[in-house]
Amino acid sequence: MVENINKIDVLAIGIHPDDIELACSGTILKHIDAGYKVGLLDLSRGELGTRGNATIRTQEAMLSAKLMNASFRHQLNLKDGFFENNEDSIIEIIKIIRASKPRIILANAIEDRHPDHARASKLIQDACFYSGLIKIQTSFGGIEQSAWRPQSIYHYIQDYHLKPELIVDISKFMEKKMELILSFSS
Ligand SMILES: [Zn+2]
């Protein structure tokens, strides 16, 4: 999927298609409401999820992105559960970072019950760093890309109660956030 990846302010990334909705969609809604552009990147299609399947989950994810008014939602095909922090995975993420040039990245929790989350958090951090190296050459949609390193990465909190360093008040957006979560009916 290469749908309209354009310059945004914030790129929210999750290893599973519902990570973003569950963990940081209130923050995203608040930023979109304030006029910022936010794009979404799912690293896998969540094919190991107990219910539903990858096709259903993709439809749900796209519906939620629409309700959120996200600038785009892109899905990579890293293997749910078995993805690795290696050159291929890093390059796939770099392509989307360079295509969308975000200043801020939202990423998986650094420590969590589901082992994919911490692994993805490190992978995203690494991709953000390497994306800034000009000698790593990439192209996307037939266009050669230039280096881009986001200014900051914020890790959202998932299942474990980690001590937050930054809290965003999303009380005005709670109702809408629940609507987004419910679009993942599988
Ligand atoms: Zn997850």
Residue 51: the pLDDT is 83
| CATH homologous superfamily of 10-182 | LmbE-like (3.40.50.10320)
Residue 158 CA to ligand 1 centre (angstroms) = 8
Q: Which pLDDT score, from 0 to 100, does residue 1 have?
A: 44
pLDDT by residue for the chain (186 residues), tens digit each? Answer: 446 899 999 999 999 999 999 999 999 999 999 999 999 999 999 999 888 888 999 999 999 999 999 999 999 999 999 999 999 999 999 999 999 999 999 999 999 999 999 999 999 999 999 999 999 999 999 999 999 999 999 999 999 999 999 999 999 999 999 999 999 988
- For residues 90, 92, 95 and 101, what is the CA-based torsion angle, rounded to 10 degrees? -60
* Percent of residues in the chain assigned helix, strand, coil, to nearest 5: 40, 15, 45
pLDDT at position 2 is 44
Distance 143 CA to ligand 1 centre (A): 32
Domain segments of the chain as ranges: 10-182
The reported pLDDT for the residue numbered 25 is 97
CA of 64 to the centre of ligand 1 (A): 16
**Which residues are CB-neighbours of 137 under 8 A, at least 6 positions away?**
144, 145
Number of H helices, E strands in the chain: 5, 7
Residue 90 Cα to ligand 1 midpoint, Å, equals: 19
Strands (E), 36-94: 38-44, 72-78
Asked whether the beta carbons of 32 and 171 are under 8 A apart, the reply is no
- For residue 150, the CA-to-ligand 1 centroid distance in Å is 23
